[in-house]
Amino acid sequence: MPDLPEQDQQYLDNVKEQLKIDLNNVDNLLNLAQYQKLAGDYEGGIKTLKYAYTLDQTRHVTMNNLVDLYYINQQYDEAEKWCFILIEHDILWKNSYTFLRDIYKFHKKEKYYESNEFPELIEKAYSRAAIPKDKKFFILILINYYKDTDNPVKVIEYSQKYLEYDPENQAIKDLIDEYEKKLIDG
């Protein structure tokens, strides 16, 4: 085991002690998985989190952490699968969309650049969002998606939607100007 700073060692000792008391405590397992992640034991963290999930299949943080560890461990199919499990539990869980964007944009490019699956998924979440903060989050993902896929009309469209929730946002106004100029200049 690597030498740890005293604070980290105390944390680990506390987790070990907690686990001696109750291995069926999801919070203890989440703590252990966090340590395993920090120690670089991604496979161990995945096993710990999968066990925690069997104990409580409603904890979003467990699913989110599984996505994170699978992603770090370059197991993109599993990360994607757990994103969709998480979305089934909570369609507005923002991290799942951020992970999917990264999985598709950098590792499964055909799902990002050659398919409408990703923007359709974001549109569905956007339509279910009730509060402006959530709507703005999904609109920003769509703006960036359409910038990445070189669709200036959609960049402008979603930028204008964004201004409905944040009319004073100068960066979005500048983006609209930039993309309108691109359309004019061809």
Same-domain pairing of 162 and 146:
yes
pLDDT tens digit sequence for 12-45: 677 667 656 577 899 999 999 998 999 999 999 9
CA distance 112 to 102: 9
Same-domain pairing of 104 and 132:
no
Where is the domain boundary, 79, 108, 137? Answer: 108
Same-domain pairing of 132 and 148:
yes
Sign of CA dihedral 19, 21, 56, 96: negative
- Dihedral angle at the C-alpha atoms of 24, 25, 30, 36, nearest 10 degrees? -50
CB-based contacts of 132: which residues, under 8 Å, 6+ apart? Answer: 165, 166
SS3 state at 45: helix
Percent of the chain with pLDDT over 90: 84
Same-domain pairing of 48 and 132:
no
Where is the domain boundary, 83, 108, 133? Answer: 108
How much is the mean pLDDT over the chain?
A: 92
Q: What is the pTM of this model?
A: 0.84
Domain range enclosing 98: 1-108
Residues composing the chain: 186
**Number of folded domains in the chain?**
2
Same-domain pairing of 152 and 75:
no
- Domain containing residue 148: CATH number: 1.25.40
CA distance 134 to 163: 14
pLDDT tens digit sequence for 111-125: 999 999 999 999 999
> Quick one: tokens of 55?
């104990």
- Domain containing residue 13: CATH number: 1.25.40.10
